[in-house]
Structure 1
Amino acid sequence: MNKNLVIILFVFLCSQSSYSELYTAVAELEGLLHTEQVVITTLGNYIYAQEQKMLLVKRYVEAYVDQYKKASKDIQTYLQNPINAYLLVKRLTTDWDVVQDLITENTAEEFIADFDNLKSSLKFPSNEDLNGAAMALTRLQDIYRLDASSLANGEINGVKYATELTAADCFELGRQSYTNADHYHTQLWMMEADKRLKREIHQTVERSEILEYLAFSTFKLGDVGLALTLTNKILELIPTHERALRSKVYYEDEIAKINSVQRKGEDESIGTIQNNIEARLLYGPLCRGEIRLSDEILAQLKCRYVDNGNPFLKIAPFKVEEAYLDPQILIFHDVMADHEIATIKALAQSRFQRATVQNLNTDTMVAIQHRIGKVAWLTNTEHKHVKDVVHRVEDMTGLTMETAEDLQVVNYGIGGYNDPHYDFARKGEKNGFKNLGIGNRIATVLFYMSDVPQGGATIFPYLDVALWPKKGAAAFWYNLHSSGEGDKHTRHAACPVLVGSKWVSNKWIHEDGQQFRRPCGLKRPSPEYTA
């Protein structure tokens, strides 16, 4: 009977593999709370029948219940916090694996039947989701300079948002970093796990396991001496630890080889790794709001009402704010109503797919780690609200929508972001937008469909411009000079969402049909502007 239970549970969990990449959109995580509720209920019934022999299982269920109650008070706020999202995924991956091991000692037909009946309607996260959620937290650490101890306390920029992490939670973050060969974050989170383990009455992880990962990551960061010290601590706990005994010999040999060479200290090694991380994230200061436009530039920017010669807009003109002058970046305020946003979100969520980018070598669309979010495309004919928004873009820009792409809707996931990129096709791209037959992307309209409490700015690194999401507003800029050449100063990025759920929609406008609306210029741009 016990073997049957193991087999059925294994098949059940494997059958959920189609729900991978739940971490890439906050909206996708909502289904996991329903899964957690079902897990609580089913396991609760199982414990009732097996209570005397299943005390450890009951402890896990109580933890599930505690978190579910907190989430139920405000599901959106709960899921929008990256730490809560990580813990939700962890509870339904590694923690759930532990629960499975415990329940195989006893079985109940009702327990198997309940899961067998419900498995087709439940969402379970995959190990890929757990790894993605962990990577998102470490990404947020780097870009927003968040302290591991504060994050483990549930604090983000001094605000208490989430449940504190246990030693096991921190250990899992470190282990996921190790899986990604990220030894810097492995070291940070294993050190935090070790600190928390010392304060736990009921210890959630073995210290020898923490020390083993910590020793190896420290060695990879260049500190062989400290790696040896940590390995010796493992052997104090478990003198027969086979891997530690082998590592001890190896580290001693390495120290002997470099004994005549001065070894770099631990702090210097970590500092070097940190500098390398910052070098890859040059837009960090803009995302953190540390860079502002000069007073001279700000003094030239204005706000105004615009009607674009439209008789109807004489009565209700657009409220336009200048964010930059050359290239011109405008913010249109209050151009998408709440009911339109609700409709567009609902239409998009039912068809979400992982966001992709174009591979310049193969001209195929691929999902990669520097764009974390889920997207859907909506046509004008799907709903009146979509049609109204698209018509509004034409009124805002004065450009025809006849050759524009469908409305792209994006929901960013845990730590969701997009690296610096251009919206227009560059000369080095194999096909660009040739297959569309409507020319290059002349302009971009980016609607913000949610407020974001922390993070999530749209930044232009070459201009030192940061646009902060404001629900109902839209940003507009030309990607091409009037000569038709790409404006490389429009290179932009989406900063990681620190707290909240970021919803945006893009309307990309193409060249064809704009000949009389934005006539070509005779003057070519200066070399520094040529893409």
Structure 2
Amino acid sequence: MALIWLLVTLVVLVVPGQGEVFTAMTDMSRLLTTEGEMIRAVENFIIAQEEKLEKLKKDLYEMERVHDKASLSPEDFLANPINAYLLVKRLTVDWTDLQNFMTDNSMGQEMLTNLTSMAELLRWPDEEDLNGAAVALMRLQDTYKLDTAHLARGQINGNIHAYRELTASDCFELGRQSYNSGDHYHTTLWMNEALNRYEMETNKTVIYADILEYLAFSTYMQGNVRQALKLTDELLVERPDHQRALGNRAYYLEALNSQQAKKRGDDSDNIDVEAVEKGYTVTENVDVNDAWHRERRSYERLCRGEGKLLPQVAKKLNCYYQNGPTDFLRIGPVKTEVVHIHPNIYIYHDVLSDSEVATIKELATPSFKRATVQNYKTGELETASYRISKSSWLKAEDSETVTRVNNRIGSITGLNMDTAEELQVANYGLGGHYEPHYDYAQREEKDAFKILGTGNRIATFLFYMSDVEAGGATVFPHLNIALWPKKGAAAYWYNLYPNGEGDALTRHAACPVLVGTKWVSNKWIHERGQEFRRPCALNIDALE
């Protein structure tokens, strides 16, 4: 089609009035000149198409190489968050570019139509998935203090590498997604990295002016008006008629003059450094010392493995074999590790076999849905950005394995399982996490478990069903402890005091998975049925 239009255009330009060519030989000879121009036009068209096809071949070769490598061990390949992000980007941004190229001819359009007809068999990520993957990388970057340049080189913690480095386009897309999320802090980080990568690239993967536009505005939103003005001037050198840049420049000049008028001699670019490092703009007036931020710093520190118990606390901890009255504990005492006292938190080692793990995963996967949280005001379940995972619930009648596991929990804890919730199975994906929360319902959540009729969640029993290469710890910010996933182990603690009040020290979180995949299953045990197994305190103020 493109060739036909090229020839039509050429004929319109060179052909004189009808019947004026064949009547004289001098005019006929000029047709050779016309034919020569036509040949050169077609040659140029072929060269341009061959260059496009050559680029497409190279891109396809790279995709095949990566795909073959990933197919050898998909779980290991996608355990690296950079690899996972690049896969989502290939199937969204890069695929869109490829579609645009293929629609230039009818054969390509036909192939795309055939591919579309397979929509039910294939799974395509959308813009929300791309944004989620980018935000997950930002979360990992913040929590684990990952350097932007190192990430762009495909490095995580120095010794874990992605299959390739990020291009300027990859960095630009991370910045663009941060911008779309209103996160100007990470936008400036990744747009600056995109500039660095752009300068190093021989074959440019992104437009220089596009980087400057995003970077200038986010720099302004970070409070640095002078730098935003400088970047905008650079953009206008590239594109003098850029309307948004012209409007922004006038706005930045006005803002800068206003700042200078308010406080002569003051450096208006001074910013609350700690607030900026956490991604807040100066206009938010963030108090980085309030309770939420203190908890946040503790949470992130523990996720990085930087927490340490005081010696006088650590020396009271011990390990032992737990015996008991049940056949299960008589035949096989449980290896028990006390990791904290008051509240008591235990780790039980080797209480879930590999075959049981495999069965539970197989049963849970088909019914996986995005994990939800309960809105304490409405009581409704809803998705939330602070809990990123997928989960499903398994009933005892679903499998003998589930029944056996439920009975085992009862044997170890000595609590009644009849009023416990079903076994919840969860899988954390790219940057999957669950920020600090309580498992029990607080006083204002009066109707949280009303529909169950079994009272509050008295205890939590949490199985770890996978090892995690990096990250993914369960942390207790107010106790300064971190529990690291170990396949086959389980954590256990009481959420309530004997008087029924919630123990605020059990507030905990699931750290983002840095590298690997995290599988857990948990059993929330309720108050009803435990009256003679864990009696209520006679004194309402009693905490022990």
Q: TM-score under structure 1 normalisation?
A: 0.87
Q: Which residue in the other structure is 1:281 paired with?
A: 296
Decide whether the 8 Å contact of 2:99 with 2:112 is kept in 1.
no
Q: Which moved more, 1:271-280 or 1:376-385?
A: 271-280
> Secondary structure in 1 aligned to 2:71?
helix
Name the amino acid aligned to 1:384.
E
Alpha-carbon spacing, 1:408–1:51, altered in 2? closer, same or farther (3 Å): farther
Q: Which moved more, 1:200-209 or 1:155-164?
A: 155-164
Distance of 1:430 and 1:64 partners within structure 2: 54
Q: Deviations 1:147-177 (Å, cap 9, x if unpaired)?
A: 1111111111112320211100000000000
Deviation at 1:393, TM superposition (A): 0.4
Among 309, 313, 316, the alignment partner of 1:297 is: 313
Decide whether the 8 Å contact of 1:361 with 1:430 is kept in 2.
no
Distance of 2:51 and 2:222 partners within structure 1: 48
Matched, 1:404 2:420: yes
Matched, 1:416 2:432: yes
Alpha-carbon spacing, 1:223–1:263, altered in 2? closer, same or farther (3 Å): farther
Alpha-carbon spacing, 1:79–1:517, altered in 2? closer, same or farther (3 Å): same
Alpha-carbon spacing, 1:59–1:481, altered in 2? closer, same or farther (3 Å): same
Q: Deviations 1:81-111 (Å, cap 9, x if unpaired)?
A: 1111111111101111111111111121751
Q: Which moved more, 1:295-304 or 1:70-79?
A: 70-79
> Secondary structure in 2 aligned to 1:452?
coil
Matched, 1:140 2:140: yes
> Secondary structure in 1 aligned to 2:416?
coil
Decide whether the 8 Å contact of 1:218 with 1:226 is kept in 2.
yes
Deviation at 1:474, TM superposition (A): 0.3
Distance of 2:99 and 2:145 partners within structure 1: 37
Deviation at 1:525, TM superposition (A): 4.2
Within a 5 Å distance, the mapping from 1:355-504 to structure 2 comes to: 355-504=371-520
Matched, 1:213 2:214: yes
Distance of 2:251 and 2:370 partners within structure 1: 44
Distance of 1:61 and 1:123 partners within structure 2: 20
Deviation at 1:245, TM superposition (A): 1.9
Q: Deviations 1:445-465 (Å, cap 9, x if unpaired)?
A: 000000111111111111111
Larger Rg: 2
The number of residues matched between the two structures is 481
Q: Which residue in the other structure is 1:45 paired with?
A: none
Distance of 1:470 and 1:51 partners within structure 2: 54
Name the amino acid aligned to 1:207.
Y
Distance of 1:176 and 1:444 partners within structure 2: 37
Q: TM-score under structure 2 normalisation?
A: 0.85
Q: Which moved more, 1:472-481 or 1:237-246?
A: 237-246
> Secondary structure in 1 aligned to 2:335?
strand
Q: Which moved more, 1:201-210 or 1:157-166?
A: 157-166
Within a 5 Å distance, the mapping from 1:193-342 to structure 2 comes to: 193-260=194-261, 261=263, 262=265, 264=267, 268=271, 271-275=274-278, 279=293, 281-282=296-297, 283-342=299-358
Q: Which residue in the other structure is 2:157 paired with?
A: 157
Q: Which moved more, 1:119-128 or 1:260-269?
A: 260-269
Decide whether the 8 Å contact of 2:184 with 2:221 is kept in 1.
yes
Name the amino acid aligned to 2:493.
W
Name the amino acid aligned to 1:281.
R
Distance of 1:196 and 1:270 partners within structure 2: 26
Within a 5 Å distance, the mapping from 1:170-189 to structure 2 comes to: 170-189=171-190
> Secondary structure in 2 aligned to 1:508?
strand
Distance of 2:426 and 2:501 partners within structure 1: 28
> Secondary structure in 2 aligned to 1:259?
helix
> Secondary structure in 1 aligned to 2:468?
coil
Q: Which moved more, 1:208-217 or 1:312-321?
A: 312-321
Distance of 2:195 and 2:60 partners within structure 1: 25
Unaligned runs of 5+ in 1: 3-49
Decide whether the 8 Å contact of 1:60 with 1:99 is kept in 2.
no
> Secondary structure in 2 aligned to 1:442?
strand
Q: Which moved more, 1:187-196 or 1:239-248?
A: 239-248
Decide whether the 8 Å contact of 2:183 with 2:279 is kept in 1.
no
Q: Deviations 1:307-335 (Å, cap 9, x if unpaired)?
A: 22224422310000001111110000000
Alpha-carbon spacing, 1:97–1:209, altered in 2? closer, same or farther (3 Å): same
Deviation at 1:387, TM superposition (A): 1.3
> Secondary structure in 2 aligned to 1:498?
strand
Distance of 2:160 and 2:391 partners within structure 1: 31
Q: Deviations 1:343-372 (Å, cap 9, x if unpaired)?
A: 111111111100100011111000010000
Distance of 2:536 and 2:498 partners within structure 1: 5
Matched, 1:127 2:148: no
Decide whether the 8 Å contact of 2:260 with 2:268 is kept in 1.
no
Matched, 1:114 2:114: yes
> Secondary structure in 2 aligned to 1:434?
coil
Decide whether the 8 Å contact of 1:223 with 1:263 is kept in 2.
no
> Secondary structure in 2 aligned to 1:331?
strand
Q: Which residue in the other structure is 2:32 paired with?
A: none
Deviation at 1:52, TM superposition (A): 7.2
Q: Which moved more, 1:475-484 or 1:154-163?
A: 154-163
Alpha-carbon spacing, 1:193–1:52, altered in 2? closer, same or farther (3 Å): closer
Indicate the percent of aligned positions where both proteins have the same amino acid.
51
